[in-house]
Amino acid sequence: MSYRIWWQWNDGLSGHIWLSADDLRRLTEEMLTQGMPWPSERLSAAETRDVVVTPQELEVALETASAEPVRLRDSKLWQEWLAFLESGVHKGGILIRA
């Protein structure tokens, strides 16, 4: 399984990523390790319906984010994920779909 993730306000050409279930799991673990409030319990719903993470939720999560990962070995993936989330704050949040 994979996840398609978009900014709520995107132009159809940019503002989207595709993550494997394993990558999203590893990113979620890193976020929780860093104490970032992330709606991980809602991600299981993405298999049957869209999951929306609001700009406000992204802002709160990013407040405690460290630029360097604690557990995740792939620092490039982490930094790209943070940049995507930061942009999502200004693009209406993000939409997650399996």
Give Cα 87 to chain centroid, integer Å: 11
The predicted-structure confidence for 5-54, as pLDDT tens digits, reads as follows 999 998 878 899 999 999 999 999 999 999 999 998 888 878 888 999 99
The predicted-structure confidence for 64-79, as pLDDT tens digits, reads as follows 999 999 999 999 999 9
For domain 2-97, give the fold.
Hypothetical protein yfbM fold (3.40.1760)
The predicted-structure confidence for 53-65, as pLDDT tens digits, reads as follows 999 999 999 999 9
Nearest of 98, 29, 41, 18 to residue 69 by alpha carbon: 29
DSSP string, 55-81: HHHHHHHHHT--SS-SS-S-HHHHHHH
pLDDT at residue 46 in the model? 81
Three-state DSSP class for residue 6: strand
Three-state DSSP class for residue 51: strand
